[in-house]
Amino acid sequence: AAEWGYSPTNGPDVWARLFPQAGGARQSPVDICTSIASSDSNLEMKKLTFAYESQSDLRILNTGHGWKVEAPQSGSRLEGGPLGEDIYQLEQFHCHWGETSAEGSEHTVDGRAYAGELHLVHWNTTKYQSFAEAAQHPDGLAVLGVFFDVGNESNDEIEKIVSTLSEIKFKGQFTDIPDVIDPTTFLPSGLGYWTYLGSLTTPPCNECVIWIVYKEPITVTEEQVTYH
């Protein structure tokens, strides 16, 4: 069977043939129209909080579409904000980027793409027994999205990831990250975010994600985001 990808013949326009959920009504990513987005005072009553742990001995994988770091044993948790009473645990984080730094993010803001987008993927451990089970439910996952903007200042935490990529040039290759990673340091200093109910952005496109997209991007260098 042909694999999904991003070319005209196997890209998003045809994903729904093989992955029926890709034809659904709460599909991600979306363009965020800032003039239509509204603020919800209920979200401020229970602040979004993250309790992330520094982790060593993490493994990074070339997925063929980017890199992914699995963090399944992490005690890193996300709660509050749009997540109700439930607690979500970090499972993995990964990045999306483009051919050039003019594009690459999955979400866009008023039609504008950023150079890349980091996703911190969490699952609802209050209601479900496993990531796979959670991914079958509308409140199963919470993904934090962080945009990359290109600037002069390199991002030290992103560099810990980028510096391993020369060792995993091909799909399926993986290597250990020698540094300790604290996912908190990936987040921008501004706490404002947009939230909506959506889906996994790639097949199988399950409609199981509470999206939380930070308004403020983090800055990385051109070299840190054009590593393919």
Residues labelled as active-site residues: 65
Query: According to DSSP H, which parts of the chain are helical?
Result: 12-18, 41-45, 131-134, 156-162, 222-225
For ligand BO1, the binding residue among 27, 201, 221, 224 (CB under 6 A) is: 201
Of residues 84-123, which lie at the interface with Zn ion (CB under 5 A)? 119
Among 85, 115, 130, 71, smallest CA distance to 228 is for 115
Q: What is the longest distance spanned by two Cα atoms in the chain? A: 49
CB 46, CB 80: distance < 8 Å: yes
Among ligand BO1, Zn ion, none, partner that 160 touches (CB below 5 to 8 angstroms by kind)? none
Of 81 and 116, which has the nearer Cβ to Zn ion?
A: 116
Q: Which amino acid type is present at position 137? A: H
Among ligand BO1, Zn ion, none, partner that 131 touches (CB below 5 to 8 angstroms by kind)? ligand BO1
Among 55, 125, 128, smallest CA distance to 93 is for 55
Residue 91 binds ligand BO1 (CB under 6 A): yes
Residue 71 binds ligand BO1 (CB under 6 A): no
Question: How many residues can be counted in the chain?
Answer: 228
Instruction: Give the span between the Cα atoms of 200 and 119, in whole angstroms.
Output: 11
Residue 144 binds ligand BO1 (CB under 6 A): no
For ligand BO1, the binding residue among 124, 202, 221, 224 (CB under 6 A) is: 202
Q: What is the contact surface with ligand BO1 in residues (CB under 6 A)?
A: 91-92, 119, 121, 131, 143, 200-202, 204, 209
Q: What is the contact surface with Zn ion in residues (CB under 5 A)?
A: 119
